[in-house]
Amino acid sequence: MSTFGASIVKLELPDRDGKVDDCVLGFDSVAEYDRGREHTNFFGATVGRVANRIAGSSFTIDGVSTQLDVNEGEKNHLHGGDLSWHRKHWESREILNGVEFSYLSADGDMKYPGRVRVSVRYTLNDGKLKVQFEAHLDAAEKKSTPINLTNHSYFNLAGHTSENGILSHELEVYADHYTPTDSASIPTREAKSLDEVPSMDFRKAKQIDAALRELAAASGYSAEEMEDAIQRKGRGASEPLGFDHNYCLNFFHSAGEYANCPIRAIAKLSHRDSGRVMKVSSTSPGVQVYTGNYIGECSGKNGFVYRQRAGICLETQTYPDAISPDASKHPEFSKGACFILKPGGKPYFHDVVYSFEIEDSASEALMKMLE
């Protein structure tokens, strides 16, 4: 862990033969994490105040409009801004089986209103890494503010130096709907059934390589274009093929009541060659599945060069752009509404658990025969 960005910087896991690999992407020094727009991958960081995208870089709460910095494309706001919480030094203290990071975000921090106290707890026990986010307004604060936190780790269960990236991983996501997006990755306000869009469907485990090919075919790529889009590893890829979409998790609940939502299984990531499995549980209404489409060529830990699809993010959070004024007009989309911290109101809570296991090769072979 690192106090810079309250980040996960290393995750060492054994495979079925006892070999240990570091299974998250990252850098060797704080200076490498703190390169601003030269590095926009958010490796391992705590992202906020509002994770994901805000269309037009603006929102209105209690009749008060706020204009944020544009830091993605020509008009949108991403992950709280260029100098947001992923590039702050957090306070830290040891707790039982882990560490707690805390940060006091001033009124006007990256142009967001309100003074906010935020903490992130990481605890490791019995093969489970639990992350607990909490945020509340300072006691004397009179301004409301949006909040949507996530951890932005890029996982690679083959090890972060895998030349094949995540292509041989299998992914399963427990969602019957997803939120389609426009060309700027802004949701269209639909919560679309995956029965209608098989190429986006991970309800049954899919190998990521195969899922990308299915997506390419559904997107009208020719066979040659499809192979190039999957194999070019980021070189010259201004709009690379891949997943960067929010999935509407199946335990829908009332908008804003995330603190009362039980933690439930949401996804499973597997790598058969190593036997490593990561199961993800969360209290969030959505998860952003991101296949590292925009990593490009990036020198990471130990000088290893990461490229497109070097890791996968499973970002548990509220829905992208769910702070926008028209979000409430769409009933299904509004179930993932951004949480609003209000003076005298409820604090924000969000838990996620990553459970790590090793699958037995004999059991795997049997399951494969039964598929």
Residues with catalytic function: 152, 315
Q: Are 319 and 287 in contact (CB under 8 A)?
A: no
Question: CA 321, 327, 330: angle at the middle one, nearest 5?
Answer: 130
CA distances 44 to 7, 136, 352, Å, are: 5, 23, 14
CA distances 263 to 101, 209, 244, Å, are: 22, 30, 23
Residue at token pair 């590095």: 39
Backbone angles phi, psi at 368, to 5 degrees: -65, -40
Q: Are 80 and 49 in contact (CB under 8 A)?
A: yes
Q: Are 230 and 241 in contact (CB under 8 A)?
A: yes
The 10 Å CB-count burial string (b at 16+, else e) for 347-371 is ebbbbbbbbbebbeeeeeeeeeeee
Residues making up the chain, counted from first to last: 371
What type of residue is 172? E
Total Cβ atoms within 10 A of residue 127: 12
What type of residue is 36? G
Residues 6 or more apart in contact with residue 299 via CB below 8 angstroms: 305, 306
